[in-house]
Structure 1
Amino acid sequence: MKRSQHSCSANGKAFGLALQALAMMADHSCRQPSSHIADHLCTEATQIRRILAKLAQENILEVREGRDGGYWLARDPASLTFAEIYKALNVNEPFGDGMLDSTGDHPLGVRMHEALLDMAEEINQSIMEALGQRTIADLVTKASIDAN
């Protein structure tokens, strides 16, 4: 099944909001309602619910619906990498792919596409490697250090 694509800016924002929401949940072990998360992140509750729903589908979060419902981490924050979150959100237009999309189907564009293909793959691989080295627990620690 092909995953839907979104614009890079929308992907980046969803990814950033997801990281912050997960860090917030890791720092508070109780169930968090989406409205509470949205308030703390100064964003719309519907946007947060869409993001959290994707994370729940990928078993990163558990959810309980209803008046006493909310979201909580299904996994240890120390084992939950940024790369897993990135993949769960279907962020499938990394930087390198956007560069390739700019080339076009004209003769120069086709040659440029071929010339840039290896570089784009290297960039995408480097991004995933970097994201794989960071966890939600790291983000919680960093945010706590920066708050002091």
Structure 2
Amino acid sequence: MFELLFSLSSIGILVWLLMIVLPTWRVTRLLAELKIFPIYLSILYIVGIITVILKNGFGFMQYFSSAAGVIRLLSEPNFALLVWIHLLCFDLFVGHSIYRENLEYRYIPLPLQSIILFLTLMFGPLGLLTYVVLRNASNRKRT
């Protein structure tokens, strides 16, 4: 079941490609505005986490309090796949936010936006931090 959820989550790469390669295309803008893919990934995650809870209860939450506990959880293949979907969902939501804000205010040029979106896709927080730093630098130049 979790491998199916993982496979179904792979379609999220489409919106990343659109935001990176075709950022001004009408379809890309519409998909980003509607947030269809983050919502889709959220639904997949919810199906997975409900399955975990129904099967095992809330006992897994006890492992969140230590590094060893988190490692133990992530060593469980089904839980690791579920965490992956969680990461995909949040990284895509951040990517959408960067994309939409920059298209509206043009803090950075579109080619640089594409690089930052790639960084966000591959390294989440690195892409977000890069965007925030460049956006703030751009704001200082404008004032």
- Normalized per residue, the structure richer in strand is 1
- Normalized per residue, the structure richer in helix is 2
TM-score, normalization by structure 1: 0.31
